[in-house]
Amino acid sequence: MEPSTGYRIDELARRFGLEARGDESRMIRGVAPLDRAGAEQLAFLANPRYATDLAHTGAGVVVLHAEHADASPVPVLIARDPYLAYARIAKLFEKLPAATPGVHPSAEIAVDARVDPSASIGPGCVIEAGATVAAGAVLGPHCVIGTDCTVGAQSRLGARVALVTRVTLGKRVLIHPGAVLGADGFGIARDEDGWVKVPQLGGVRIGDDCEIGANTTIDRGALEDTVLETDVRLDNQIQIAHNVHIGAHTALAGCAAVAGSATIGRDCQIGGGAGVLGHLEIADGVTITAMTLVTHSIREPGVYSSGAPIEENRAWRRNAARMRQLDAMARRIAALEKQVEVLTKERS
């Protein structure tokens, strides 16, 4: 069924394994926020902070947790994870532009490059020697697929994506505009006369079903490859340095940075603006909150944080001044503890 014709609530319930309550015959033709949804739109409630919006919603149906079902004035779809259920349903209404197989006349393709006839190569693209573009892949305008790079089947590259050299994309990889994969890693050695560049001889390997955000950069390895395993998700403007290895199903939010040769495990979540120093190891199942700086390896799963939360400026200035006094205060406390210990011994 085409999204434009809509879906009955009971059909959505069957398709996604949800419990429906209320008028299940209503047609749903789109999605919208809880406080602005109309009678033919689906909304969701995942965060209890927005529960007050539920009483006034005009949505055709709301995806929510069972505990909020009785408070809804409209039909509901009950899910154990409302946000996940919404994400799956919303895909039915996503309208991606159709890609036409073939090569745009303005594209330039090397004689020995291999481009599957079912791939779509947009205007101004350059595909260099030894590159491969597999079946059903889509290259947006002005992409550059460098020497010995491979774009896997059904992968989609937005405008101006550059695969520099020795980059391999798996199947169904999505790369947003402006991302650069396979540029030189930051390898330099100090000489008495200045810096000597270290050749970056490795590549980049991206697993199936990964997503890479706009203007994100992933450097190729110095000797071995930089690796993203299956289903890794990177937000916009992230820096992944050479020889980093990121485990499957890990997600990094915007402006995070991972220094060279760090290893991040599976099923990790790294918040926006966080940094991971080089050569560290992060275990599976670790969450790093936003703006945290990871300075040592993390061996156990859990949630880790650093940095100072925001507060009113005058309080922050007072606390910053006290921070500078911590060493002196610690010394005074240690001295007082010794005096107390001496007095205690004398009295006993």
Instruction: Kindly list the domain boundaries of the chain, sorted by start residue.
Output: 3-93, 102-304, 313-347
pTM value?
Answer: 0.90
- CB burial of 166-187 (b: ≥16 within 10 Å; e: otherwise) equals bbbbbbbbbbbbbbbbbbebbb
Q: How confident is the model at residue 243 (pLDDT cuts 50, 70, 90)?
A: very high
pLDDT digits (tens, 9 = 90+) for 298-312: 999 999 999 888 999
- Residue-wise pLDDT tens digits, 6-61: 999 999 999 999 999 999 999 999 999 999 999 999 999 999 999 999 999 999 99
Residue 1 has pLDDT above 50, yes or no: no
Both tokens of 36, joined, read 């602005």
Helix (H, G, I), strand (E, B) or coil at 125: coil
Alpha helices in the chain (DSSP H): 9-16, 51-54, 82-90, 313-324, 326-347
How large is the C-alpha radius of gyration of the chain?
27
Say whether 268 sits in a helix, a strand or coil: coil
Do 3-93 and 102-304 fold alike per CATH? no
Mean pLDDT of 267-294: 98
Range 83-91 average pLDDT: 96
130: phi > 0 → left, psi -120 to 50 → alpha, else beta; which? left
Residue 243 has which token pair?
A: 């020889």
Asked if pLDDT for residue 96 goes beyond 90, the answer is no
Q: CA torsion 231→235→241→242, rounded to 10°? A: 30
To which CATH superfamily is domain 3-93 assigned? MurE/MurF, N-terminal domain (3.40.1390.10)
Is the pLDDT higher at 98 or at 313? 313
What is the average per-residue pLDDT within 249-270? 98
What pLDDT, on a 0 to 100 scale, did the predictor assign at position 37? 95
Q: Which residues contact 20 (CB under 8 A, 6 or more apart)?
A: 9, 10, 12, 13, 61, 75, 76, 77, 78
**Cβ neighbours around 191 below 10 Å, total:** 8
What pLDDT does residue 3 have? Answer: 43
- The Cα–Cα gap between 186 and 21 comes to 57
The residues annotated as belonging to the active site are 242
pLDDT tier at 266 (50, 70, 90 boundaries)? very high
pLDDT of residue 95: 86
| Predicted confidence band of residue 345 (pLDDT cuts 50, 70, 90) | confident
DSSP string for residues in 15-62: HHT-EEES-TT-EE-EE--TTT--TTEEEE--SGGGHHHHTT---SEE
Over 60: is that where the pLDDT of 295 sits? yes
Does the domain at residues 102-304 carry the CATH identifier 2.120.10.30? no
CA 47 to CA 65: how far, in whole Å? 10
